[in-house]
């Protein structure tokens, strides 16, 4: 069966329709507010808002897949994370029959923080039907790369718009890309990759359309993915065009966050 991946309009969430109806999100970064407070920025916790949004999206969904960076602090974990992560998942288990986590680079010891009913997969990823799920900070497994479609997070994709006075605005986006090759590492590669925007709205985005994009993770850093010809979509589903057609000059005030 060929699965179909459909972005949920106006939500940073992807529905994957195959043998099961799967909802996929990534980059929650629960506990980021503690880190921001140390930097002098005080905002309320976004965990309850994310929890409510996922509960609202749960109707008819068979499985929730979170592709990494459930928590924020690395290394270690904060008191906020120890308090909020278990509560977050205990609430969601009342609405989703199955929950899977694919570990991201921020998810140290996440197995000890989530309820036993939540399945945690290593950084190599997860395969459901013909779809592979990874965070994106590490090399995916051979099995994941043999999937027809790869879904990944980690880069918090966004697109930057610039006017004639060099004022800019950054908007979260979806990016659909083809693969160039297996880079000598993989015999088979997916037909396509989808870069998923960060679910936590407090996170900054990594603009994909800057000149000399500094994308994170081995698939992008080693150019296995053809980012330049990737198609950029806004959160409402509007197709903007290819990454290369949207290029904006890098002016030094953009830097990547992981």
How far apart CA 203 and CA 225 sit, in angstroms, is 24
How far apart CA 158 and CA 204 sit, in angstroms, is 8
The answer to whether residue 251 sits within a structural domain is no
The answer to whether residue 6 sits within a structural domain is no
Q: What global pTM score does this model have?
A: 0.92
**Number of domains into which the chain is organized:** 1
Looking at residue 157, its pLDDT comes to 95
How far apart CA 157 and CA 141 sit, in angstroms, is 23
Residue pLDDT tens, the chain, 258 long: 688 999 999 999 999 999 999 999 999 999 998 877 877 887 888 999 999 999 999 999 999 999 999 999 888 899 999 999 999 999 999 999 999 999 999 999 999 999 999 999 999 999 999 999 999 999 999 999 999 999 999 999 999 987 766 777 889 999 999 999 998 999 999 999 999 999 998 887 889 998 876 789 999 999 999 999 999 999 998 999 999 999 988 765 544 444
The answer to whether residue 4 sits within a structural domain is no
The answer to whether residue 5 sits within a structural domain is no
Domain that holds residue 102: 13-246
Tokens 């925007």 sit on residue:
197
CA-closest candidate to residue 208, choices 236, 245, 183? 245
What b/e string do you get for 133-169 counting C-beta neighbours within 10 Å, with b at 16 or more?
bbbbbbbbbeebbbbebbbbbbbbbbbbeeeeeeeee
* CATH at 23: 3.60.21
CA-closest candidate to residue 59, choices 94, 30, 84, 10? 94
Looking at residue 256, its pLDDT comes to 44
CA-closest candidate to residue 145, choices 183, 172, 94? 183
Token pair for 49? 């808002």
The answer to whether residue 181 sits within a structural domain is yes
Q: What is the DSSP letter of 8?
A: P
Residue 53 in contact with residue 59, Cβ under 8 Å? no
The answer to whether residue 256 sits within a structural domain is no
The answer to whether residue 102 sits within a structural domain is yes
The answer to whether residue 3 sits within a structural domain is no
Looking at residue 251, its pLDDT comes to 66
Kindly tell me the sign of the dihedral angle through the C-alpha atoms of 233, 238, 242, 247: negative
């Amino acid at each position: 069966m060929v699965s179909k991946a459909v972005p949920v309009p106006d939500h940073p969430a992807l529905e994957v329709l195959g043998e099961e109806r799967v909802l996929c999100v990534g980059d929650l970064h629960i506990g980021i507010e503690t880190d921001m407070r140390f930097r002098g920025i005080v905002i309320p916790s976004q965990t309850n808002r994310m929890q409510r949004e996922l509960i609202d999206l749960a109707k008819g969904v068979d499985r929730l897949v979170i592709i990494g960076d459930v928590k924020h602090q690395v290394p270690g974990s904060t008191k906020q994370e120890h308090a909020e992560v278990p509560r977050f998942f205990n609430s969601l288990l009342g609405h989703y029959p199955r929950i899977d986590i694919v570990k991201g680079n921020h998810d140290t010891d996440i197995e000890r923080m989530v309820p036993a009913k939540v399945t945690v997969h290593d950084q190599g990823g997860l395969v459901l039907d013909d779809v592979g799920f990874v965070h994106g900070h590490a090399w995916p497994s051979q099995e994941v790369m043999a999937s027809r479609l790869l879904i990944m997070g980690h880069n918090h994709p966004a697109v930057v718009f610039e006017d004639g006075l060099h004022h800019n605005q950054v908007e979260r986006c979806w990016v659909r890309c083809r693969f160039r090759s297996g880079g000598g590492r993989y015999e088979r590669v997916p037909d396509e990759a989808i870069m998923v925007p960060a679910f936590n709205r407090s996170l900054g985005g990594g603009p994909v359309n800057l000149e000399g994009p500094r994308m994170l993770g081995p698939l992008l850093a080693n150019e296995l993915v053809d980012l330049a010809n990737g198609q950029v979509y806004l959160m409402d589903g509007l197709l903007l065009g290819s990454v290369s057609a949207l290029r904006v000059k890098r002016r030094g005030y953009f830097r990547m966050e992981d």
